[in-house]
Amino acid sequence: MDNNPIKLNSKDHGYNAQMVNDNDDTTCIVINDEEDTPDVLSKVNKVCDLTRDQLCHLLKDNKKYLRNIYQGKAYNRRHEDYKKGGKARVDLTYQVRLGIFHEEQHDVVMEQLMAMFCKKNFTLLDYVMKVLFPETLVKIYMDVKHSTHYEAEQFMEDALENGEDFVLTDMI
């Protein structure tokens, strides 16, 4: 996987960007003019082809989406099961479908989620692992493939059941 930073030249592309390093080896690009942001996914056809910077950008773009899940402002089945507790919460452990993403991509997503939700302490780690991490992977798939939540979940489940790791096709 390419971990090299994307080089941006604001004069050529018409937007301002800067490299950010949070002293924890996570380097991401911060785009300052969102309305002029180029489509960072324009050349990505497979989720497993996403670079570290593209993943960071997607997580930044989806921060509000994830906060709405966490705050219960948007209905989310995993969030509701987590709140129920007991067997419903335990079952969430087995509902994380990682297969279509590389291990390095899992690490990037978890680093970013930890920075967003567990910056000062780890009290939300269980929630992040069981709810936000799988929902982030689903949302990334949705963004790359322009699919619905249901289609993304179904594809990821089918890929796991059929052993089709890293083989992504258009859902037509």
On the 0-12 / 13-18 / 19+ scale of CB atoms within 10 A, 124 is middle
- Show the domain range for 45: 39-161
The larger pLDDT score, comparing residue 143 to residue 159, is at 143
Residue 23 lies in a domain: no
d(CA 98, CA 37): 29
Note whether residue 29 is domain-resident.
Answer: no
Question: Which pLDDT tens digit goes with each residue over 15-50?
Answer: 333 444 444 444 443 433 344 334 667 778 788 889
pLDDT band at residue 156 under the 50/70/90 scheme: confident
Tens of pLDDT, residue by residue over 54-81, are 999 999 999 999 999 999 999 999 999 9
Domain presence at residue 6:
no
Residue of higher predicted confidence among 93 and 40: 93
pTM for this entry: 0.71
Cβ–Cβ < 8 Å for 44, 143: no
Please state, in angstroms and rounded to a whole number, the distance separating the CA atoms of residues 32 and 96.
33
CB–CB of 160/99 below 8 Å?
yes
Whether 31 maps to a domain, the answer reads no
Q: How many other β-carbons are positioned within 10 Å of the β-carbon of residue 101? A: 21
Note the pLDDT tens digit of each residue in 124-150.
Answer: 999 999 999 999 999 999 999 999 999
Is residue 172 domain-resident? no
Number of domains within the chain: 1
**Is position 57 within any domain?**
yes
- Contact predicate 84/92, CB 8 Å: no
Beta bridge partners of 152: none
The pLDDT of residue 44: 80
Please determine, for residue 12, whether its predicted confidence score (pLDDT) is greater than 50.
no
Question: Is 34 a member of any domain?
Answer: no
- Within a 13 Å sphere around the CA of 47, how many CA atoms are in the beta-carbon half? 33
Please check whether residue 14 lies inside any domain of the structure: no
Q: Which residue has the tokens 């924890």?
A: 24
pLDDT the model gives residue 163: 62
CA dist., res. 110 & res. 9, Å (int): 29
